Amino acid sequence: MTSVTPERHNGVAAALEVEGVSHSYGRRKALDNVSFSVGPGRFAVLLGLNGAGKSTLFSLITRLFAAQSGAICIFNWDVSRAPGEALRRLGVVFQARTLDLDLSISQNLAYHAALHGIGGREAKQRAREVLEQVEMADRADDKARDLSGGQIRRVEIARALLHRPKMLLLDEPTVGLDIRARADILLHVRGLVAGEGISVLWATHLIDEIEASDDVLVLHRGQLIDKGNVGEVASRAGAADIGAAFAKLTGAGRAEDAR
């Protein structure tokens, strides 16, 4: 079995395990035998250009639809066989903004709590906690419409944490944000990894969001062409840094992708 950082699992199930997953839309192969795992408390970057298969992979992990072959497990719960148990251990931030703009922040969070079977005082208490975590507690009664793009993202992260998952999935969470808001979101999520041992799968095509200690998964045209820690991937590609390695592996122009 392949694993990004097996030595870190300490005998515990991987937070996320993707094993031999393939998926096609008609004749077009979107994912081809993709295998990787994200260990507990790890920050893993899923690096790929648009069309690499990131969205398909996220749809499969969140069980929007099922993989045609292979298996996906969240803390050993198979997404196909025990979807409820798998999904309740997973927090998701979608690429599209999914807050209800007409409702207030706390109403949005209450809805999400209900979708996880959490109601009443418990839901309110948790909403307060997660909003404090992302420093948005003072905006609880504001309508989502009145927030900036970066603030909406922070609330979406808070929402994803509400049911206390140990695995967080973020699909290009910094798209459309300015540089400061991007840095801010990254800082918050990295704080969760360091402080609470939450595992993160962070999909992006922006090289500068990667740190030296991260695990990197390079997805290109549906295939996982390399995985490992940042240094390994760079040296295997014979490149000076991960940006050059990504450009080399995907044939992408460095300048446009590294920003």
User: Using CB under 8 A as the criterion, which residues of the chain lie in contact with another protein when the complex forms?
Assistant: 8-13, 15, 25-26, 30, 40-41, 43, 55-56, 59, 62-66, 75-76, 80, 82-90, 92, 94, 96-98, 100-103, 107, 110-120, 166, 190, 193-194, 197, 211, 213
Query: Please, which residue, 52 or 86, has the CB nearer to another protein?
Result: 86
Query: Please, which residue, 115 or 256, has the CB nearer to another protein?
Result: 115
Query: Please, which residue, 74 or 131, has the CB nearer to another protein?
Result: 74
DSSP the chain: ---S-GGGSTTSPPSEEEEEEEEEETTEEEEEEEEEEE-TT-EEEEE--TTSSHHHHHHHHTTSS--SEEEEEETTEETTTSHHHHHTTEEEE-SS--S-TTSBHHHHHHHHHHHTT--HHHHHHHHHHHHHHTT-GGGTTSBGGGS-HHHHHHHHHHHHHTT--SEEEEESTTTT--HHHHHHHHHHHHHHHHHH--EEEEEES-GGG--TTSEEEEEETTEEEEEEEHHHHHHHTT-SSHHHHHHHHHT--HHHHH-
What's the gap between Cα 124 and its chain centre? 25
Angle ∠(78,79,80) on CA atoms, nearest 5: 90
Query: Please, which residue, 25 or 238, has the CB nearer to another protein?
Result: 25
Residue type for position 208: D
- State the nearest-atom distance from the C-beta of 160 to another protein, in Å: 10
Query: Please, which residue, 31 or 249, has the CB nearer to another protein?
Result: 31
Output the six-digit token pair for 185: 């979101």
- State the nearest-atom distance from the C-beta of 109 to another protein, in Å: 11
Distance CA 63, CA 79 (A): 7
Residue (of 129, 125, 131, 122) closest to 104 by Cα position: 131
- State the nearest-atom distance from the C-beta of 232 to another protein, in Å: 15
Query: Please, which residue, 28 or 180, has the CB nearer to another protein?
Result: 28
- State the nearest-atom distance from the C-beta of 49 to another protein, in Å: 17
